Amino acid sequence: MDIARHVFVSGLVQGVAFRYHARERARELGVAGWVRNLPDGRVEARFEGPPERVEAFLAWLRQGPRAALVTECEVRERAPTGDEAFRIVS
């Protein structure tokens, strides 16, 4: 049974290819959903999949790519919506 999470990532997370790395990591893990930059400098992501894959992606988001500096990761539980791919949205 799939689970879903809605996450807001704060810190140095824009201008460091965070969304592109997130998309690649999500695809590697087989997690579906989306990621986007917010006007306030945070990155927002919503994703779903098997619990172990969602948790692995969440662990990655808490670190981010090498150039990022994540200071906070606010996580909310959500109901899965049936997304089948992971994409960058605007």
Active site residue 23: no
Based on the residue annotation, tell me whether 5 is a catalytic residue of this protein.
no
Residue tagged active-site, from 5, 27, 36, 37: 37
The single residue of 19, 23, 42, 53 carrying the catalytic annotation is 19
Is the separation of the CB atoms in 21 and 64 below 8 Å?
yes
At residue 67's C-alpha, the angle toward residues 65 and 71, to 5°, is 80
Burial track 17-46 (b if 16+ CB lie within 10 A, e otherwise): ebbebbbebbeebebbbbbebeeeebbbbb
Query: Which residues are identified as catalytic?
Result: 19, 37
